[in-house]
Amino acid sequence: MLPEMTFVLGGAASGKSQVAECMIINSGLSPIYLATARVWDDEVDAKVILHRTRRGPEWHTIDAPIDVATPLGLATSSQAVLLDCATMWLTNVILAERDVAQAQADLLTALAACAAPVVVVSNEVGQGIVPENALARKFREAQGRLNIALAAQSDCTVHVVAGLARTLKGTAP
CATH number of the domain to which 73 belongs: 3.40.50.300
Q: How far is CA 18 from CA 62, 114, 148, in A?
A: 18, 22, 22
Please state, in angstroms and rounded to a whole number, the distance separating the CA atoms of residues 111 and 136. Answer: 26
pLDDT class of 18 with cuts at 50, 70, 90 = very high
Please state, in angstroms and rounded to a whole number, the distance separating the CA atoms of residues 10 and 109. Answer: 23
pLDDT tens string 38-63: 988 999 889 888 888 988 899 999 99
Check if the beta carbon of residue 165 is closer than 8 Å to that of residue 172: yes
Catalytic residue among 16, 51, 55, 159: 51
Number of structural domains (the chain) is 1
**What is the pTM for the complete model shown?**
0.95
Q: Is 60 annotated as catalytic?
A: no
Please state, in angstroms and rounded to a whole number, the distance separating the CA atoms of residues 144 and 165. Answer: 20
Question: Is residue 96 in a domain?
Answer: yes
pLDDT tens string 74-100: 999 999 999 999 999 999 999 999 999
Check if the beta carbon of residue 115 is closer than 8 Å to that of residue 77: yes
Please state, in angstroms and rounded to a whole number, the distance separating the CA atoms of residues 75 and 31. Answer: 10
pLDDT of residue 173: 86
Residue 125 three-state SS: coil
Question: Is residue 39 in a domain?
Answer: yes
pLDDT class of 124 with cuts at 50, 70, 90 = very high
Question: Is residue 170 in a domain?
Answer: no
Question: Is residue 172 in a domain?
Answer: no
pLDDT of residue 79: 98
pLDDT class of 129 with cuts at 50, 70, 90 = confident
Question: Is residue 173 in a domain?
Answer: no
- 47: domain range? 5-80+87-165
